[in-house]
Each structure stands twice: as C-alpha cells, then as structure tokens.
Amino acid sequence: QVQLVESGGGLVQPGGSLRLSCVTSGVTFSGYTMAWYRQTPGKERDWVAVLPRNSNTVNYANSVTGRFTSSKDAATNTIYLEMNNLKVEDTGVYYCHAGGGAYHYTDKRFEYEYWGQGTQVTVSS
C-alpha cells in the first residue's frame, strides 16, 4: 500500500523559509517519479518540482526556480522541498505526488498515481 505523508507547512512572512517533507512508503525512487504540486484557491493544481525516477536531476517551475530546492533521501524514503525567499503568491496547499508505471502522454498522467493529503503554506505579513 502506497502512502505519502507531507509535513512542514505553516505561516511565514514574505522573504521567509520553510522546509516541507514527504515521507513515503510503498514506492521506490527508482520506480516512481516524485513531484511537488501546489494548489491555490480557484486554480488548478500545478507542479512545482519534479524529481524523475532513476535520476538525480530536479525540474522546477519557472515561478520557483532559484528559490526552491527539492531533494530525495532514499535511506529514509523521504523527499524534501526547501522553500526560500517565500512570496505571498506561494501561498497554497502543497501536495506530494508519486507517479509509476507507463506515462501516458495524451492524458499527461502515469499508469499509477498517488497523492499525499497536502500541507498548507501561508505566506503573509
């Protein structure tokens, strides 16, 4: 059974920092592409950072490049999202995502997909 459990969200002032964690079970980083998504009220859930399976590379959305850093620790089955210089527009619910199996380019989804419950990040003065 796959489980993704996020933590680390909270309230922070603009310019501040937070580190999100996603503890995983039932997935391997060699077999699953991991990702962080963000959803703000009234908008679709958008990807923030993608950590491809079997790779040490990380792809970032333009809006967070240079401010956010994501990494994965296979020893603890955990992925992280380090967020620096936070802006008001970074406010939202952050979700951990795992994608495995074949990738369907037409639907833009993996054969197997799992989501965490989300953690709220609020950037406000």
pLDDT given at position 42: 85
Helices (H), 1-125: none
In degrees rounded to 5, what are phi and psi of residue 74? -70, -25
pLDDT given at position 34: 97
Beta carbons within 10 angstroms of residue 74's beta carbon: 10
The answer to whether the beta carbons of residues 94 and 118 sit under 8 Å apart is: yes
pLDDT given at position 41: 83
Which of 61, 9, 10 has its CA nearest to residue 35? Answer: 61
Beta carbons within 10 angstroms of residue 6's beta carbon: 22
pLDDT given at position 83: 98
Position of tokens 């996020």? 6
Position of tokens 């936070």? 86
The series of mean pLDDT values per 10 residues for the chain, 125 residues long, is 96 98 96 96 92 93 97 96 97 96 89 96 97
Q: What DSSP line would sit under 68-92, residue for residue?
A: EEEEEETTTTEEEEEE-S--GGG-E
